[in-house]
């Protein structure tokens, strides 16, 4: 009988076929890998900066990998310069009057993307936890040790929202579950995600990116060129402030 590597031809063929079948099956059942071009963080306890797979249409920026936040372990601390520091559960925040708006998020790295955001206005939180008279703004502290400052004036702007939902679903970990800020007239870095603490302050502070890079602490969108991901990054001139033309 003909043998290959000391085994019969038939049994050799069976082994080769079994191996091929297992390989093909393994390929198709890999959890989102290769086929769906998953990002580095898929299937891990962390999320971080990614532009792969579904995030090609809306990039994800995280300063440091963030350990995914579980709703039941999370509460929002509101403190600093106020009479009574308080904490809120996600459920409590979801009972505040909500608003929904469509707005574009524009990063200083040039790209932008649009979504529908649902959340509450900062004035609702101020009613529950009033700041002291000397307060001029807040510092947001995030789960990835990111911080960002916004003035009370910017927070009380009608287009600024504290957001819990994106495109009709709870925020994903990537986009800042369970709570983020959306300030459409400021660059992305002024839109902190995965917020864990809100601190009332009386002096403006540099946020994480303004400390590291040449980014203004104010962060208002300047006139220039935008490369929207939903328009194949085709350059568009923008006049500055919120992008409302497309
Ligand atoms: N906690 C946290 N929030 C953050 C950042 C970050 O690094 N950490 N990056 C900011 C920047 S630079 C941008 S452009 C936007 C991007 O939002 P997205 O990841 O939902 O697209 O998030 C902002 N919020
Ligand atoms: Mo950004």
Does pLDDT of 186 surpass 90? Answer: yes
Residue percentage of the chain with pLDDT more than 90: 83
For residues 138 and 200, give the distance between their C-alpha atoms in angstroms, rounded to a whole number: 4
Residue 37 has what pLDDT?
Answer: 62
Q: What's the pLDDT tens digit per position in 49-75?
A: 999 999 999 999 999 999 999 999 999
Domain 72-238 CATH (choose: 3.90.420.10, 3.10.129.10, 3.40.50.2300, 3.90.1150.10): 3.90.420.10
Which helix (H) or strand (E) is 213 found in, with range? none
Does pLDDT of 182 surpass 90? Answer: yes
Number of other CB atoms surrounding residue 161 within 10 Å: 25
* Tokens (6 digits) for 189: 């870095």
For residues 113 and 106, give the distance between their C-alpha atoms in angstroms, rounded to a whole number: 7
- Which residues pair with residue 50 across a beta bridge? 60
Mean pLDDT of 151-180: 98
Q: Which residue's CA is the closest to the ligand 1 atom numbered 19?
A: 60
For residues 1 and 152, the model is more confident at 152
* Tokens (6 digits) for 67: 């350990």
Radius of gyration for the alpha carbons in the chain, expressed in angstroms and rounded: 24
Q: Are 154 and 192 in contact (CB under 8 A)?
A: no
Residue 9 has what pLDDT?
Answer: 59
Q: How far is CA 18 from the centre of its chain?
A: 44
Structure confidence at residue 246 as a pLDDT band (50, 70, 90): very high
For residues 37 and 103, give the distance between their C-alpha atoms in angstroms, rounded to a whole number: 28
Q: What's the pLDDT tens digit per position in 101-121?
A: 999 999 999 999 999 999 999
Q: What's the pTM?
A: 0.86
SS3 210: helix
Average pLDDT over the chain, rounded to an integer: 90
Q: Tell me if 163 CB under 6 Å of ligand 1.
A: no
Atom number, ligand 1, closest to the C-alpha of residue 195: 1
Residues bordering ligand 2, an ion, CB closer than 5 Å: 61, 107, 188-189
Structure confidence at residue 149 as a pLDDT band (50, 70, 90): very high
Domains of the chain, residue spans: 1-35, 72-238
SS3 111: strand
């Amino acid at each position: 009988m003909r043998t290959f590597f000391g085994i019969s031809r038939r049994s050799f063929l069976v082994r080769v076929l079994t191996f091929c079948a297992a390989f093909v099956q393994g390929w198709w059942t890999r959890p989102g890998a290769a086929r769906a071009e998953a990002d580095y963080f898929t299937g891990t306890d962390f999320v971080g900066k990614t532009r792969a797979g579904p995030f090609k249409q809306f990039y994800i920026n995280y300063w440091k990998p963030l350990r995914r936040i579980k709703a039941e372990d999370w509460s929002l601390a509101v403190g600093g310069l106020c009479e009574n520091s308080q904490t809120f559960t996600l459920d409590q925040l979801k009972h505040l009057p909500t608003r929904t708006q469509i707005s574009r998020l524009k990063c200083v790295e040039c790209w932008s993307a649009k979504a529908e955001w649902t959340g509450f206005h900062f004035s609702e939180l101020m009613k529950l936890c009033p700041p002291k008279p000397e307060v001029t703004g807040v510092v947001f502290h995030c789960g990835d040790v990111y911080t960002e400052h916004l003035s009370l004036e910017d927070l009380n702007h009608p287009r600024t929202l504290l957001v819990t939902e994106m495109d009709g679903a709870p925020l994903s970990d990537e986009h800042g579950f369970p709570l983020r800020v959306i300030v459409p007239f400021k660059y992305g870095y002024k839109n902190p995600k995965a917020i864990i603490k809100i601190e009332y302050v009386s002096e403006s502070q540099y946020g994480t990116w303004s400390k590291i890079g040449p980014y203004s602490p104010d962060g208002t969108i300047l006139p220039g060129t935008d490369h929207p991901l939903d328009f194949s990054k085709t350059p568009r001139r923008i006049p500055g402030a919120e992008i409302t033309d497309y």
